[in-house]
Amino acid sequence: MAGSGQSRYYRSYSLGSHLINRTQGIRGLVNYGFSCCVNALLQSFCATWELVDILDKWNPLHVENKNRNVPLQLKEVFKAMQSDHSQPVSHHDFLKCLDKNRIRLYVQHDADEVFLLILNFLQRQMDEDTLVQAILSLYKVSLETVLHCRDCTYIQSYTSFLLSLPLHIKEDHNSLEDCIKSFFEPEVLRDTEKCYCEQCGMKTCATRGFKIISLPPILCLHLKRFRSYHDYTKKLQCKVTFPETFDFLEIVKEETLSQKYVTNGSKYSLCAVIVHIGIARFGHYTAYVHHKGDQSWYYANDSSVRKVCWSDVQSSYGGDGREKTAYMLLYRRDTQEQQFDGTETL
């Protein structure tokens, strides 16, 4: 289930239309049954031209089992998606490759989980470390975790990174800005969440907070809409507004920045939205992608692709009983602030 690290298995229904085409360089993808999650992710990956360029530079020399190699198969899918054909892309080989890596065919998965798994396979199965690090740097949010013991006031910290920032949402109206602020608000760890204090020599209650060390070229935000209640899972259909552009440092407080903070730009523009339609056990994934060529928005629903406007993207805010809701948001750091060449280190 979303947010719990487990796959969510539910029926999938089609929202297809008669429009099956290639629009301005964006090709649809065949739905082989329950492949809408992967299809939506592939559209967002392909819209991330930085990732496409990195994989294009990769010249695999020592791949033994090509049918099981996710980065190699992904590279082939990108080529097909960029080719000049009117028919939707047939990518069954990629889906079978994922199946051999335990992302099973004909089962509906959680989009954020599959997103992270694919990035993990790129890291493990590519034989060129420089390009692997470039891919990680593309998405890596570097954080400093600060633990403040509530018994002895001892402070300890450590660094880590996330490839997708999980954002808690409330069961009413939300804004992306408020969700980001909430992520960085300190929380008290009690009971089973107690942490070991080096000074006390035992587990104690502690206050945990996160500080930003660096922000990535592509910022992936996961809106945690699925919540577990004992023996069932509920999807939060509540409204979450999000901007087309924003400045991260205008949202968070100055004390949220680590002393190690690397100034590498904080202004972002939305480049893709993974959308979930339906309820927790019955749903479908689609995607909005911003095309680099004509700077327009497109809606990709499996084999159907059509040009849309920003107000259409906003229809995925949710609320008012709508089942069409944004689930993952991908923002690109403004090119005026940075030039990503595939070698940035964080």
Please write the tens of the pLDDT for every residue from 69-85.
Answer: 999 999 999 999 998 87
Phi, psi for 96 (deg, rounded to 5): -65, -35
Please write the tens of the pLDDT for every residue from 19-47.
Answer: 434 455 689 999 999 999 999 999 999 99
Highest mean pLDDT among 14-18, 284-288, 331-335: 284-288
Strand partners, 223: 167
**How far apart are alpha carbons 268 and 249 in whole angstroms?**
11
CB–CB of 147/194 below 8 Å?
no
**How far apart are alpha carbons 125 and 69 in whole angstroms?**
6
9 has pLDDT over 50: no
| Token pair listed for 41 | 């992710």
Please write the tens of the pLDDT for every residue from 142-200.
Answer: 999 999 999 998 999 999 999 999 999 998 899 999 999 999 999 999 999 999 999 99
With CA atoms as reference, report the closest residue to 329 among 225, 228, 230, 258: 225
Domains of the chain and CATH, by start: 20-333 (3.90.70.10)
**How far apart are alpha carbons 68 and 73 in whole angstroms?**
8
Question: Do the bridges between strand 195-197 and strand 202-204 make them parallel or antiparallel, or are there none, so unpaired?
Answer: antiparallel
Q: What percent of the chain has pLDDT over 70?
A: 90
Strand partners, 277: 284, 324
pTM over 0.85, yes/no? yes
What value, to the nearest 5°, has the Cα angle with vertex 257 and ends 248 and 331? 25
Q: Which residues are catalytic?
A: 36, 284
**How far apart are alpha carbons 41 and 18 in whole angstroms?**
22
Please write the tens of the pLDDT for every residue from 90-137.
Answer: 999 999 999 999 999 999 899 999 999 999 999 999 999 999 999 999
End-to-end CA gap in the chain? 30
Confidence of residue 86 (pLDDT cuts 50, 70, 90): confident
Q: What is the pLDDT of residue 249?
A: 96
What value, to the nearest 5°, has the Cα angle with vertex 248 and ends 244 and 250? 105
